[in-house]
Amino acid sequence: MNLLKTIAVSGLVLTVVALSGCSSTSTTAGTSNGPNDSGPVVAIISDVSGSTKPQRAPNGVYEQGWIDAATATALARGSLWAATADGQTLSSSTWQVNGRGFKESIEGNDLLAEAELKKQAEDMRPEARKILAVNRNGSDLLGALQAASRLFADYPDRTRALVLLTDGGLTEGINVAKNLPKTEAERKKAIKRLKGQGLIADLTGGSGEPVRVWIGGLGTGVGKSNPATTVAVIELWKDLIPAANGELVSQDSNVRLVEFP
């Protein structure tokens, strides 16, 4: 059963779902037409740890990536979910955007419909900025993959896409600051250990085609002045996503929404 919480945001009442529970298809009052019955299901999860603070600044790369993903979802008449990842993602984070559906009110005019859908996404910028302004310690990014898996399990027959806004700096399961695998053999060993501990989610939710994943900001700032560390973080994620039954479509300092969603 979903663990529901009701919070007031900017004078509106929003219903959000704790990530530790199952996902919901309830309407997000005040900001949503309700989840669409068709179209892609898109989850945006933003890393709000201290190392990503520069990227999360207003009008920064994370905000633009967030809006770009929302716009692409809107144009595809999809349903948008959004949450944050911190040191205890499953227990402390919520779906702050809870299945926001996009649908044009104007029919028979593709140009006007496209403009309306783009505006619906752009109107979410204040909400995106509020989500990205959260500051917490730690990066339980494996927990973020588990949260996405629980959501996607409810939509096995829909196209499913995950956008991760993160530098990739894991602190749970693998602490990249202390125990970063730097060779292929070390990565395979680490991933095997994580799978044995049940820490790598099945992004498909146990059914359907592999979930497609786009990562924005990967490696940015994590390696600091050591390019080899940055490369090792990127290579780790290039192995982690397939291990979670996902297809890594793009990883970049920005979000390059190649063939999205």
Taking every pair of C-alpha atoms in the chain, what is the biggest distance, in angstroms? Answer: 57
Per-residue pLDDT, averaged over 42-53, amounts to 94
Q: Is the pLDDT of residue 66 over 80?
A: yes
Share above pLDDT 70 across residues of the chain, in percent, rounded to a whole number: 85
Query: What's the CA angle centered on 157, arms 156 and 158, to 5 degrees?
Result: 95
Other C-beta atoms closer than 10 Å to the C-beta of 186 total 14
Domains, the chain, ordered by start: 33-252 (3.40.50)
Q: Is the pLDDT of residue 135 over 60?
A: yes
Pick the more confident residue, 110 or 5: 110
The predicted pLDDT at position 11 comes to 32
- Residue 123's region, left for phi above 0, alpha for psi from -120 to 50, else beta, is alpha
pLDDT in tens, 191-241: 999 999 999 999 998 887 889 999 999 888 776 668 888 899 999 999 999
> What are residue 233's phi and psi, to 5 degrees?
-65, -45
Beta strand 79-85 with 4-9 is unpaired
Q: Report residue 244's pLDDT band, with 50, 70 and 90 as the boundaries.
A: very high
The predicted pLDDT at position 35 comes to 61
Cα–Cα distance measured from residue 52 to residue 144, given in angstroms and rounded to the nearest whole number: 16
Cα–Cα distance measured from residue 116 to residue 123, given in angstroms and rounded to the nearest whole number: 10
β-strand partners of 72? none
Share above pLDDT 90 across residues of the chain, in percent, rounded to a whole number: 58
The predicted pLDDT at position 28 comes to 34
Q: What does the mean pLDDT of the chain come to?
A: 84
Per-residue pLDDT, averaged over 40-46, amounts to 96
